[in-house]
């Protein structure tokens, strides 16, 4: 385990804000990695080299030049997991800097441990993100034995059933590991979180998402879930389903399961050519403002199952105004919202307007 230049520079930056002395950090070969005196960076420090070679607990320098590349002060080993990985030195009159020695050593070792832990965690997260991304995008015929070996390393079975969930914002997964759920493999992208969950039923994944959202403190978020697949090769299919549903529900919040929104998904999947033809037929006499008004009204119409009184209550308008709007739609489109077949077409067009 070795100190890197960037790590040493960060430690120097932190400590220099507390102690008003020149401070140096040396690597395992005795070279000065970082210093509050930039001119000393890269120089050989004999005192540090002696500490490392002779496993010294400290080395005091009473005069400048007593050891090659050294100034008066005190030098102490940086120990991590019982191994000297570097040396930190503080320059000044020995009688003055001696009192800071133990504090400086302890502070440095704590900072080193924190930085190493951070880098290790970051590397683990990158490896997990790579594995999740690979799993989400592989076709069944592309899985090699090496992938299945890695699957076992993460504690998953080839024969178990899986479902994929997508969450936005991804911060909801920030501390998901605290829950200790070994059935879950997750990763965070820049604007979306990915969950691969080993489950016997979707209800298990729903409970995990509920627990995760409560733990994160995120009150408002969007989560879409693909269908449960019979084994690990179906993860891509579940992912594509969750992704499609997220497109449909992009302006909403809540948890949505693919199977519950078949009708909306059909609307969303209609070929662009068909959408253009139908929208031109229905909306040819509408201004842009009238299109938005039509979409809002039909959304309320669908939500309230065509009930004039409930629509009026929701939109804060009189019942007669609701009847007027229905007749206006009939006049301008030739479609009557009170007829089921026509209502389905009008609701579908309104949904396309709302989604842009």
Q: Which of 257, 247, 224 is nearest to 354 (CA)?
A: 247
Given 200, 233, 265, which residue is the final one in a domain? 265
> For 175-191, how does the pLDDT look when each residue is reduced to its tens digit (9 = 90+)?
888 888 889 998 888 89
Once rounded to an integer, what is the mean pLDDT over residues 318-337? Answer: 94
DSSP state of 246: H
pLDDT at residue 274 tops 80: no
Residue 277 lies in a domain: yes
Q: DSSP labels for 266-309?
A: HHHHS-HHHHHHHHHHHHTT--HHHHHHHHHHHHHHHHTTT-HH
Q: How many residues does the chain have?
A: 356
Q: At what angle do helices 340-355 and 288-303 cross, to 10 degrees?
A: 120
Beta partners for 34?
Answer: 25
Neighbours of 315 (CB within 10 A): 16
In the predicted model, what is the mean pLDDT of residues 27-37?
A: 91
* Same-domain status, 34 and 98: yes
Token digits for 296? 């809002």
Same-domain pairing of 281 and 344 = yes
Contacts of 327 (CB under 8 A, 6+ apart): none
Q: What does the block give as tokens for 246? A: 């997220």
User: Does a structural domain hold residue 126?
Assistant: no
| Model pLDDT, residue 178 | 81
User: What value does the mean pLDDT take over residues 246-251?
Assistant: 88
Between CA 205 and CA 202 the distance in angstroms is: 5
- The confidence score (pLDDT) of residue 167 equals 96
* 184 in any annotated domain: yes
Quick: pLDDT tens for 101-151: 888 888 888 888 877 776 776 677 788 888 888 999 988 888 888 888 989
Q: Please compute the mean of the pLDDT values over residues 294-304 and round it to a whole number.
A: 93
Q: Are 193 and 246 part of one and the same domain? A: yes
CATH number at residue 111: 3.30.450.40
CB–CB of 32/26 below 8 Å? yes
* Judgement on whether residues 15 and 98 belong to the same structural domain of the protein: yes
Is there a single domain that holds both residue 231 and residue 280? no
With contact defined as beta carbons under 8 Å apart, do 244 and 264 qualify? no
Look at residue 127 and tell me if it is in a domain: no
pLDDT digits (tens, 9 = 90+) for 153-172: 889 999 999 999 999 999 89
- The answer on pLDDT for 198 being more than 70 is yes
**260 and 159, same structural domain?**
yes
Contact 34, 5 (CB under 8 A): yes
pLDDT at 197 over 80: yes
Q: Is the pLDDT of residue 269 over 80?
A: no
Strands 222-225 and 254-257: parallel
Residue 131 near residue 204 (C-beta atoms within 8 A): no
Task: Note whether 198 and 165 are within 8 A (CB).
Answer: no
Last residue of a domain, one of 265, 280, 302: 265
Are 275 and 245 members of one domain? no
Read off the CATH number of the domain in which 335 is found.
1.10.10.2840
Instruction: Give the pLDDT band of residue 100 (cuts 50, 70, 90).
Output: confident
Same-domain check for residues 194 and 311:
no
User: For residue 91, what pLDDT is reported?
Assistant: 93
For residue 308, how many other CB atoms are within 10 A of its CB? 15
pLDDT at 11: 86
Return d(Cα 13, Cα 15) in angstroms, integer: 6
Same domain, 107 and 167: no
- Cα–Cα nearest to 88, from 68, 110, 108: 108
CA 184 to CA 328: how far, in whole Å? Answer: 52
**Is the residue at 199 inside a domain?**
yes
Give the count of domains, the chain. Answer: 3
pTM: 0.59
Tokens at 292, concatenated: 């938005």
Chain CA centroid to CA 94, Å? 49
Please report which confidence band the pLDDT of residue 273 belongs to, taking 50, 70 and 90 as the band edges: confident
Last residue of a domain, one of 265, 281, 297: 265
Instruction: Give the pair of three-digit tokens for residue 225.
Output: 């879930």
Q: Which two tokens stand for residue 345?
A: 């077409």
Residues 147, 226 within the same domain: yes
In a domain, 135, yes or no: no
Give the range of the structural domain holding residue 85, as residue numbers without chain letter: 5-118
| One-character DSSP codes across 76-92 | EEEEETTEEEEEEEEES
Query: What is the CATH number for 254?
Result: 3.30.70
Which of 81-90, 190-199, 201-210, 262-271 is predicted with the least confidence, judged by mean pLDDT? 262-271
291 and 260 belong to one structural domain: no
> Which residues have C-beta within 8 Å of that of residue 338, sequence separation ≥ 6?
306, 326
* 312 within domain boundaries: yes
pLDDT score of 1 more than 70: no
58, burial (CB in 10 Å: exposed 0-12, middle 13-18, buried 19+): middle
Q: Starting at the edge strand that comes first in sequence, how are the strands of the sheet with 254-257 ordered?
A: 184-188, 193-198, 162-168, 222-225, 254-257
- Is 152 a member of any domain? yes
For residue range 8-24, list pLDDT tens digits in order.
Answer: 888 888 888 888 889 99
Residue 43 has pLDDT above 90, yes or no: yes
Both 106 and 20 in one domain: the answer is: yes
């Amino acid at each position: 385990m070795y100190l890197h230049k960037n790590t040493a520079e960060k430690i120097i930056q932190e400590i220099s804000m507390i102690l008003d002395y020149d401070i140096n950090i040396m690597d395992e070969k005795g070279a000065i990695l970082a210093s509050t005196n930039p001119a000393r960076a890269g120089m050989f420090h004999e005192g540090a080299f002696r500490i490392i070679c002779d496993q010294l607990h400290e080395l005091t320098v009473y005069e400048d030049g007593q050891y090659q590349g050294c100034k008066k002060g005190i030098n102490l080993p940086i120990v991590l997991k019982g191994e000297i990985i570097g040396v930190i030195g503080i320059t000044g009159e020995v009688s003055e800097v001696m009192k800071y020695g133990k504090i400086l050593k302890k502070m440095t070792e704590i900072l080193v441990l924190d930085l190493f832990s951070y880098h290790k965690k970051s590397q683990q997260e990158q490896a997990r993100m790579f594995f999740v991304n690979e799993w989400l995008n592989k076709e069944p015929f592309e899985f090699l034995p090496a992938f299945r070996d890695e699957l076992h390393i993460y504690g998953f079975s080839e024969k178990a059933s899986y479902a994929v969930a997508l969450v936005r914002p991804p911060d909801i997964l920030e501390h998901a590991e605290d829950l200790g759920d070994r059935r879950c493999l997750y990763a965070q992208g820049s604007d979306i979180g990915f969950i691969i969950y080993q489950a016997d039923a979707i209800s298990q994944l729903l409970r995990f998402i509920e627990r995760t959202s409560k733990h994160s403190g995120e009150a408002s978020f969007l989560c879409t879930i693909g269908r449960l697949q019979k084994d690990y090769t179906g993860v891509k299919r579940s992912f594509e389903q969750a992704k499609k549903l997220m497109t449909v529900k992009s302006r909403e919040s809540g948890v949505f399961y693919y199977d519950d929104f078949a009708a909306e998904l059909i609307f969303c999947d209609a070929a662009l050519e068909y959408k253009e033809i139908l929208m031109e037929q229905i909306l040819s006499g509408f201004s842009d403002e009238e299109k938005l008004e039509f979409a809002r009204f039909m959304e309320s119409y669908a939500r309230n199952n065509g009930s004039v009184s409930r629509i009026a209550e929701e939109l804060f308008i009189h019942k007669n105004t609701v009847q007027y709007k229905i007749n206006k739609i009939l006049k301008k489109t030739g479609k009557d919202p009170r007829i089921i077949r026509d209502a389905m077409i009008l609701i579908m067009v309104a949904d396309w307007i709302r989604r842009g």
